[in-house]
Amino acid sequence: MGQFVNNYKRKQLKLQRIVNSHAQDIISSANFKKSRGFIQHGDISVHKHSLAVARASLRLSDNLERLGIRCHKRELIRGALLHDYFLYDWHDKNRPDFRPLHGFHHAGTALRNALQEYDLTDREKDIIKKHMWPLNPVPPMCREAWIVTCADKYCSTLETLRGYRLRLQHITTRNNRGVS
Ligand SMILES: [Fe+2]
Ligand SMILES: [Fe+2]
């Protein structure tokens, strides 16, 4: 088990180094760092989620490459990092610009925010705008956007399940304390 965890961490570190090499400007920017303060799923921040989606997208594209399906890695990584660049706490119903149904409109907000700071390619725009497919019904038009939409769903599911597990642990601990 220890060996498995070490291998996993080593692979994640390697993927993260590649992500950094293509997007140091995004990762070191003030707004991207600001996303550490916004929760995405469970106890995972938007910052952590976006990095996880970029690594998962890269891993998926490496697997596809072994099958002869190549993709534009730099655009894949940059689009993945910016896919949730909405820059607000979507759980906070008291914020002045609150709009319900975050799931339906945040891809558009993320794209608008990203365009204010970066010169995006058409692929990067497609990745950000379409990542909520099928909730946003217009499907991705490039393979990089398909990869990110799959990686996003994979990471979001794991993060949400982790959130449930932590909540269950918290309730169990609290109940046990009440019993003793
Ligand atoms: Fe999203
Ligand atoms: Fe996401």
Q: Contact 77/57 with Cβ under 8 angstroms?
A: yes
The number of distinct structural domains making up the chain is 1
Report CA-CA distances (Å) from 12 to 114, 148, 149. 26, 17, 19
Number of Cβ atoms within 10 Å of the Cβ of 35? 23
CATH number, domain with residue 49? 1.10.3210
How far away, in angstroms, is 66 Cα from ligand 1 center? 28
- Which listed ligand is nearest to 131 at the C-alpha? 1
Closest CA to 139 of 148, 41, 106, 75: 148
pLDDT tens digits in sequence order for the chain, 180 residues long: 788 889 999 999 999 999 999 999 999 999 999 999 999 988 899 999 999 999 999 999 999 999 999 999 999 999 999 999 999 999 999 998 898 999 999 999 999 999 999 999 999 999 999 999 999 999 999 999 999 999 999 999 999 998 888 888 888 888 888 755
How far away, in angstroms, is 170 Cα from ligand 2 center? 26
Q: In which domain, by residue range, is 79 found? A: 2-179
How far away, in angstroms, is 49 Cα from ligand 2 center? 7
How far away, in angstroms, is 103 Cα from ligand 1 center? 7
Phi, psi of 58 (to 5 degrees): -65, -40
Instruction: Name 139's Cβ contacts closer than 8 Å, sequence gap at least 6.
Output: 130, 133
What tokens were used for 154?
């994979």
- Which listed ligand is nearest to 135 at the C-alpha? 1
